[in-house]
Structure 1
Amino acid sequence: MTNAPLTAFGPDFPFSYEDWITHPAGTGTIPKDALGEPVAIIGAGAAGVIAGFELMKMGLRPVFYESARFGGRLRSKPFEGTNGVIAELGGMRFPVSSKGFYHYLDLTGCETRPFPNPLTPASGSTVIDLEGETHFARTLQDLPPLYRDIAAAYDEALANQAAFPELQAAIKAKDIAAIKSIWDPLVADWDERTFYDFVAHSDAFQKLDFQHREVFGQVGFGTGGWDSDFPNSMLEILRVNLLGLDDEQRYVVGGVEQMLHKLWHTAPDCAHWPQGTTLAQLNGGATRSRATALSRAGDMIRVSDQWGNEDSYAAVLATCQTHLLTTAIDVEEALFAQKIWMALDRTRYMQSAKTFVMVDRPFWNDIDPATGRPLMSMTLTDRHTRGTYFFDNGPDQPSVICLSYSWMTDALKVLPLSDEKRVDLALKALAKIYPGVDIARHIRGAPICVSWEADENFLGAFKGALPGHYRYNRRIYGHFMQDALPDQEKGLFLAGDGVSWTPAWVEGAVQTGLNAVWGIMTHFGGQTSAQNPGPGDLYPERAPVRLPD
């Protein structure tokens, strides 16, 4: 069984979402008198569109409110004058263990290819530049022993402090009892301890000097440096490792945002709705405007938009960043319990910045006659660019360089700068690593940049739970279970990767969106098939462990 593929099965709530949404019995049914009833969905990102798609299949009528751009943080921005040459400003690499997400990718016919991460065949080669010293490598074995010592030490720390091999084997086997027996005690042990604590005080790293920890933070494992996550709860990092979220990643050819646009126009078999019905048709071809207020109206919830339009719904799904529920949207306080308000407000988002340029061709593949190596390689560095990635669209075709992908303090350094200044700084940093390469000569068009913390609709890129945040996460994750709530708190549901246990990964948005589907179905008096129980049916017996308050 342990040879089974790794999927995002738990560990907090071990439930197979991919099996639920693909089962022949379907995800559930609602009573006849509820067919055609409208449900408001705030946010047309992954969680909202996927939840709306599944609710439409049940016979409900999703009504979308979107504050700015369709797609949320699955944002693929094309370079002007091109066809399919894009900058992935949000999610750009998708681990194959995200089976729920890949179900919708496959459903919409999107093509994926291996992401050019460091030391992978997809990148071809990697350059690591730290403290002015540069190393060229194609595999880990090409790097100095220090790097292999770091990789071995981290594996040892995971095995000794988190029973990692046994726990990952249980996840692969979908052995719920084994997962809970190992994971639940880890929650109590590591909720209030940081990632850095896990590394620095492990026996494995205690045998090594500070430089090893420093290089581990700068270069990390899998996709790059992890020092920006050092203050985070170790539970957040363990989930990434356990579920293979940092391994075997792929990107979507032509941009991941297209998946949501295709799903918007996909006509599945639906209860109640005639053949050929799509989310686009049910919404008149476009979403409504920004939701500005939520309030109770008897048994209904009233949604107001920015133009003063008001409509009432039996159920509302909010998929926006949680901070918007305490800032941009005027939410009646009685709609959530105070402990939920505390959890929403304490959610901590991390900063992230990207700088992209389009170039005339993939010139980095040219061979330097002096070294016999490519002119440039996927680059990890302690300079402010941090990570540089190359996207090859074919010989002599316009291609893309992500000059810089950075987080937290490194992202804040460029926050006030113009796009042109960001490119200039990145080129100067890369010139010190590749002194003979004139990158600017190949740049075409205008750069494309993003700082997610500067976007009023996001206020940050993704959640990064701090020590002590597990209880907050459990409250908002389990909010879709509403039977025990007082009537004034029922009907408003939450979803999105920030509500999930796996922030920054779209699978978390998918899973919480599907939790909300079950909750909304139940709110309308619906139920699942006995042959295909949903997440709420199994939640009481598999729920995330509760820590004492």
Structure 2
Amino acid sequence: MDQHSPIDDLRGLRAPVTMFGPDFPFAYDDWLTHPAGLGAVPASAHGTEVAVVGGGIAGLVAAYELMKLGLRPVVYEAEQLGGRMRSVPFREHPESVAEMGAMRFPVAATTLFHYIDKVGLKTTPFPNPLSTDTPSTVVDLKGVSHFAHTMTDLPMIYQQVADAWDKALQETAEVSAMEDAVRSRDVATIKAIWNRLVPRLDDVSFYGFLTASPAFASFQHREIFGQVGFGTGGWDTDFPNSMLEILRVVYNGADVDQQRIIGGSQQLPTRLWTHEPEFLDHWPEGTTLASLHTGGVPRNAVKWMRRTGHGITVEDVDHGIRTYPAAVFTAQSWALLSKVKCDEALLPQPLWTAVERTHYMGSSKLFVVTDRPFWLDVDPRTGRHVMSMTLTDRMPRGVYLFDDGPDKPGVMCLSYTWNDDSLKLATLTLQERLEVVLGSLAEIYPGVDIRTHIIGDPVTITWETEPHFMGAFKSNLPGHYRYQRKLYTHFMQDDLTDAQRGLFLAGDDISWCGGFAEGAVTTALNAVWGVLHHLGGRTHRGNPGPGDVFSEIAPLELPEF
């Protein structure tokens, strides 16, 4: 089944790579923009309440689309709308924000950008290392720094590493054939290639993939690739993860051509909360998610969930108890093991195992606001910028620089770390983190006094210590494909008993491509289809949804015995 919608890229040469598959190649962007809409529920179901647990981007997209169908979503949120789309204004300069979670969005994320465009947000290129939109990059490894505008400015070994990565992908992962298939949305070819690779690579770690490639026979090449990588930076924190996770990112163009949202990513979920849809069933014109909630705010955190004779019963921490015929759970799945009390009947037993096995990546960030984007000053001795986007094996690991013009404050992400590098900072106070990071940067930029440019209090986060998150995002380990398939396909419930239906999982944990908002959005749309189907609705014949075509493009199922 070919679901291709021809879309020329900006140069008009060929269709762009989008986040289309490879596990479940369904055109969510086309489904959303079809004039027939996502479907309809029976008139008797109009106004039916549906619980949506979690007010991140997955929860807000699910609630928004359920509202458009004429249902009444009831959103529960433990902290603030946005989830890991968390934009924190600096107290002294609130017009400048620190992106504590999601901050870079690939243009390949066409379903996500449907909502970014809908609420009127603007984006600008993200300053990734060696990007054409990044003024300059410094790579600092083993005490030696290299200044660069492009890859050709770096020593030859860096080009050798880049070539080795390309060669490994071509020889072992059919990358060119897959990218061509993704561009043309050739579902048959995507499925044929991916279904060959999944059984072969499910048990292979990213590092194991590299060591098995003749192109990466040298440890030095593997070490440099881990520290620096290409696209968004170093890959070594992903080395223990499944190689399938890496291929999903590469095939979908998720690690290149990324944008940031001007004014902060949290605007997307908060604007969806107050956005008036152009077309909606049942509700009067001007209805918004905010208007459907008392006081315009979501209900408080969920205390417990259980199945009762009439559906899913939810109690919040304010002791409000409601029973719903359907519910969508978008919070991190580990919350079902610790934060939310629930009995085992809530999910089928194999799904509980999949939840238990979910693996999260840790991450820390440290931001400061500066008087101006001083890093663009030119050192008269060298003719170079006094600071650059920085990749290093020192404590900061990644330094990103954001400016909105020479007459406005600048924002520096002084440190962006993952996993073990995040744990090095986790027990430090905010001030200790600042001192450690500034000390490391002083070794790279000995003549630059960053401290004199800081004009506000720094802000920081460690996602693995955030009580309602317990990690930055999921990323599967080798052998986790079967668990991920169970989580992702849970929206298909016709084979479940009546007592096991009605609760739908969504969010980053459930998606195939962890760490990208596109996956959270598309799993939310799967859940919308599931609720629609569960309440007796259906999609338009000319615009089938993900569940309607599931049997034709379903993810490969691996044997368990």
Question: For the superposition of Structure 1 and Structure 2, which TM-score range results when normalised by the shorter chain?
Answer: over 0.9
What residue is the counterpart of 1:372 in the other structure?
Answer: 383
What residue is the counterpart of 2:281 in the other structure?
Answer: 271
2:236 matches 1:227: yes
Q: Deviations over 1:422-470 (max 9, x none)?
A: 1111100000000000000011111110000001100000111100000
Give me the whole-angstrom Cα distance separating, in 1, the residues matched to 2:95 and 2:197: 45
What residue is the counterpart of 1:487 in the other structure?
Answer: 498
Give me the whole-angstrom Cα distance separating, in 2, the residues matched to 1:534 and 1:251: 30
What residue is the counterpart of 1:356 in the other structure?
Answer: 367
What residue is the counterpart of 1:237 in the other structure?
Answer: 246
Fraction of identical pairs, as percent: 52
What residue is the counterpart of 2:192 in the other structure?
Answer: 181
**SS in structure 1 of the partner of residue 531 of structure 2:** helix
2:245 matches 1:216: no
1:345 aligned partner, one-letter code:
E
Q: How does 1:247-286 map to 2 (within 5 A)?
A: 247-268=256-277, 269-284=279-294, 285-286=296-297
Give me the whole-angstrom Cα distance separating, in 1, the residues matched to 2:120 and 2:241: 36
CA contact (8 A) 1:116 1:378 kept: yes
TM superposition outliers: structure 1 runs of 4+ over 4 Å: none
Q: How does 1:44-55 map to 2 (within 5 A)?
A: 44-55=55-66
Q: CA deviation at 1:396?
A: 2.9
2:71 aligned partner, one-letter code:
L
What residue is the counterpart of 1:470 in the other structure?
Answer: 481
Q: CA deviation at 1:83?
A: 4.0
Q: CA deviation at 1:540?
A: 1.0
2:315 matches 1:299: no
Structure 1: 5+ residue stretches without partners: none
CA contact (8 A) 1:84 1:255 kept: no
What residue is the counterpart of 2:356 in the other structure?
Answer: 345
What residue is the counterpart of 1:325 in the other structure?
Answer: 336
Q: How does 1:515-526 map to 2 (within 5 A)?
A: 515-526=526-537
Q: How does 1:63-462 map to 2 (within 5 A)?
A: 63-206=74-217, 209-268=218-277, 269-284=279-294, 285-462=296-473
**SS in structure 2 of the partner of residue 536 of structure 1:** coil
Q: Deviations over 1:377-428 (max 9, x none)?
A: 0000000100000001211311100000000000000101111111111100
What residue is the counterpart of 2:10 in the other structure?
Answer: none
2:536 matches 1:547: no
1:377 aligned partner, one-letter code:
S
Give me the whole-angstrom Cα distance separating, in 2, the residues matched to 1:487 and 1:342: 21
What residue is the counterpart of 2:46 in the other structure?
Answer: 35
Give me the whole-angstrom Cα distance separating, in 2, the residues matched to 1:547 and 1:84: 50
CA contact (8 A) 1:293 1:331 kept: yes
CA contact (8 A) 1:108 1:263 kept: yes
Give me the whole-angstrom Cα distance separating, in 1, the residues matched to 2:95 and 2:157: 41
Q: CA deviation at 1:84?
A: 2.6
CA contact (8 A) 2:438 2:450 kept: yes
What residue is the counterpart of 1:60 in the other structure?
Answer: 71
Give me the whole-angstrom Cα distance separating, in 1, the residues matched to 2:400 and 2:134: 8
CA contact (8 A) 1:79 1:85 kept: yes
Q: How does 1:493-508 map to 2 (within 5 A)?
A: 493-508=504-519
Q: CA deviation at 1:116?
A: 0.3
CA contact (8 A) 1:232 1:464 kept: yes
TM (norm. structure 1) is: 0.99
Structure 2: 5+ residue stretches without partners: 1-5, 7-12
Give me the whole-angstrom Cα distance separating, in 1, the residues matched to 2:254 and 2:336: 28
Work out the number of aligned pairs and report it: 547
CA contact (8 A) 2:310 2:323 kept: no
1:217 aligned partner, one-letter code:
G
Q: Deviations over 1:141-172 (max 9, x none)?
A: 11111000001110010010011100111111
Q: CA deviation at 1:121?
A: 2.2
CA contact (8 A) 1:335 1:490 kept: no
**SS in structure 2 of the partner of residue 356 of structure 1:** strand
**SS in structure 2 of the partner of residue 414 of structure 1:** helix
Q: Deviations over 1:248-275 (max 9, x none)?
A: 0000000010111111111112100000
**SS in structure 2 of the partner of residue 446 of structure 1:** coil
Give me the whole-angstrom Cα distance separating, in 1, the residues matched to 2:106 and 2:95: 22
Give me the whole-angstrom Cα distance separating, in 2, the residues matched to 1:234 and 1:359: 39
